[in-house]
């Protein structure tokens, strides 16, 4: 704590200096206006998807620190670590002398984020909850880092690909989907979660979309009562989780009876980055398979 107190004095002295020309002013996803005297040159990102988004915005070279599991693109693996996204090492963050910290509202401990602000560090909070918000986010990160040209190009490419996906899957028959993040506790995605938006794009209906939490826990009984036509699971990495087949015993459920149990790598589905469109393509393909297995009239 003596170290943090000392840094508070140092950083407070810095932010009290007169603002220079070239000030950057950006509003974050929780409505806070972030002001920088100049584009950020030393950024610490407090979530793996934020690291990836910064690289997409052309600002990867501005990163000086990241949290565990920040592994894409490969250069991110060499960044200094400041703990995990759920528990950040505040002293490690301060020691990197960042001129901007980017946090994740639904993943970081916001009380820790408040402590970073109290230390005088500018903090931008990210929380894209729908696919169209990802390119907006890329553009704002580019503005914060002074890499607007690269960010605009990446955002335009995302929007073009998103529009093509939306057109390709518009008007398809609805598929009721249970999206399973984990087994114990049994965890799914609620309506505000970006994956619910991806399900909708593919012509699906999240059977727990009425829940307002990002990642609610549910019971087996609730899943059986919802009777999804498809179950999509992620788990850890590219390996199909063994527990996906725990559902096989429930032969009365439509998804089981028709063999509609699918797996998608969480890195391309559960990170708010351009790669989520790779995951969305796989999700849409799974729902197309599900439609093809419907009994013919």
Q: How confident is the model over 2-31, as pLDDT tens digits?
A: 444 444 333 333 333 333 458 999 999 999
**End-of-domain residue from the set 102, 123, 155:** 155
**End-of-domain residue from the set 155, 189, 209:** 155
* 104 and 65 co-located in one domain: yes
Q: Are 174 and 204 a contacting pair, CB within 8 Å?
A: yes
What CA–CA distance (Å, rounded) separates 69 from 72?
9
Please check whether residue 166 lies inside any domain of the structure. no
* 108 and 222 co-located in one domain: no
Please check whether residue 296 lies inside any domain of the structure. no
CB atoms within 10 A of CB 259: 12
Please check whether residue 164 lies inside any domain of the structure. no
* 182 and 236 co-located in one domain: yes
Q: How confident is the model over 54-97, as pLDDT tens digits?
A: 999 999 999 999 999 999 999 999 999 999 988 999 999 999 99
Mean pLDDT, all residues of the chain:
92
* 69 and 150 co-located in one domain: yes
Please check whether residue 204 lies inside any domain of the structure. yes
pLDDT value at position 240? 86
* 6 and 148 co-located in one domain: yes
* 6 and 151 co-located in one domain: yes
What CA–CA distance (Å, rounded) separates 79 from 44?
10
Residue 110 structural domain: 2-155
pLDDT value at position 239? 78
* 109 and 149 co-located in one domain: yes
What CA–CA distance (Å, rounded) separates 77 from 139?
24
Please check whether residue 207 lies inside any domain of the structure. yes
Q: How confident is the model over 232-251, as pLDDT tens digits?
A: 998 777 778 888 999 999 99
* 65 and 128 co-located in one domain: yes
- Reported confidence tier of residue 264, pLDDT bands at 50, 70, 90: very high
pLDDT value at position 202? 98
Please check whether residue 161 lies inside any domain of the structure. no
Q: Which residues contact 127 (CB under 8 A, 6 or more apart)?
A: 29, 30, 104, 105, 106
CATH number, position 75: 3.40.50.1980
**End-of-domain residue from the set 155, 186, 219:** 155
* 8 and 149 co-located in one domain: yes
Number of domains in the chain: 2
* 179 and 119 co-located in one domain: no
* 12 and 143 co-located in one domain: yes
Q: How confident is the model over 101-142, as pLDDT tens digits?
A: 999 999 999 999 999 999 999 999 999 999 999 999 999 999
Q: How confident is the model over 192-210, as pLDDT tens digits?
A: 999 999 999 999 999 999 9
Paired sense of beta strands 24-27 and 33-36, if any: antiparallel
């Amino acid at each position: 704590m003596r170290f943090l107190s000392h840094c508070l004095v140092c950083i407070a002295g810095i932010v009290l200096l007169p603002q220079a020309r070239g000030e950057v002013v950006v509003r974050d996803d929780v409505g806070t206006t972030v002001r920088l005297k100049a584009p950020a040159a030393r950024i610490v990102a407090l979530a793996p998807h934020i690291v990836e988004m910064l690289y997409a915005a052309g600002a990867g070279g501005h990163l000086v620190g990241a949290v565990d599991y920040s592994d894409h693109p490969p250069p991110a693996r060499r960044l200094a670590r400041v703990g995990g996204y759920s528990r950040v090492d505040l002293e490690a963050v301060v020691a990197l002398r960042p001129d901007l910290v980017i946090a994740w509202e639904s993943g970081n401990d916001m009380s820790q984020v408040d402590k970073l602000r109290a230390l005088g560090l500018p903090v931008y909070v990210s929380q894209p909850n729908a696919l169209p918000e990802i390119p907006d986010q890329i553009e704002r990160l580019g503005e914060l880092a002074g890499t607007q040209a690269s960010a605009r190009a990446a955002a335009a490419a995302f929007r073009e690909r998103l529009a093509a996906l939306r057109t390709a899957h518009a008007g398809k028959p609805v598929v009721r989907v249970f999206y399973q993040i984990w087994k114990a506790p049994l965890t799914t995605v609620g309506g505000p979660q970006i994956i619910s938006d991806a399900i909708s794009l593919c012509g699906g209906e999240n059977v727990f979309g009425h829940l307002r939490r990002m990642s609610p826990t549910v019971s087996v009984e609730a899943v059986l009562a919802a009777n999804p036509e498809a179950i999509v699971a992620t788990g850890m990495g590219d390996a199909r989780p063994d527990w996906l087949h725990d559902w096989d015993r429930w032969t009365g459920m439509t998804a089981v009876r028709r063999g509609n149990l699918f797996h998608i790598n969480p890195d391309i589905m559960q990170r708010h980055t351009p790669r989520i469109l790779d995951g969305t393509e796989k999700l849409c393909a799974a729902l197309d398979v599900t439609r093809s297995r419907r009994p013919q009239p």
